[in-house]
Homo-oligomer: A and B are copies of this chain.
């Protein structure tokens, strides 16, 4: 087919991850975009949300402000992509729900502590208070994340580890809330024992009695 060559080139050059882009010729320079995202991420890691401004990002990335605004319509959009680019914490599956939940929270906390991810997420929450798009994106992400954790509980329920009348989504909500609040109040340094005790209260409430 004739279009193949064009498609190939577009694939190589474009990395067009955003299907909402209108103009045909519009495509990012991957190097430039990466430098901008890297700069934004490192600024957030160093100074948190206070140090995050489009101009500071442009300075650090040696990019022009118009370049940033060409690809990201607002500060919130850039923040959002930095956030989405980060690696997800995946749910462990040890065969024991309590260990799964504790392991999940521990790796989430350490991920938030040891990378820029915590700062980015806190900034996104802050931005969501004054930006509608960020608020919607945050809500959507939170819903998806809860569903993911819910599946972890669903599997335990299938194993008979969890009582039949337990709603995994609600339990996942409790667990996720615990994590969020600790992030927002600078209490990520909890050790495993504390986390395990908190999880145990939830566990005792949902565990199958007839074992």
Q: Which residues of A contact B (CB under 8 A)?
A: 48-50, 122-123, 125-126, 128-130, 135, 138-139, 142, 166-167, 170-171, 173-174, 176-178, 180-182, 184-186, 194, 197-198, 200-206
Complex contact B198–A130 (CB within 8 A): no
Cα distance, A205 to B202, chains bound together (Å): 6
Number of copies: 2
A162 to chain B, nearest CB (A): 11
Cα distance, A185 to B144, chains bound together (Å): 13
Complex contact B130–A49 (CB within 8 A): yes
Cα distance, A178 to B139, chains bound together (Å): 15
14 further A-B contacts with Cβ under 8 Å, apart from A166-B201, A174-B178, are: A49-B130, A50-B129, A50-B130, A122-B129, A125-B125, A126-B126, A128-B184, A142-B181, A171-B201, A174-B198, A174-B201, A174-B202, A200-B205, A205-B205
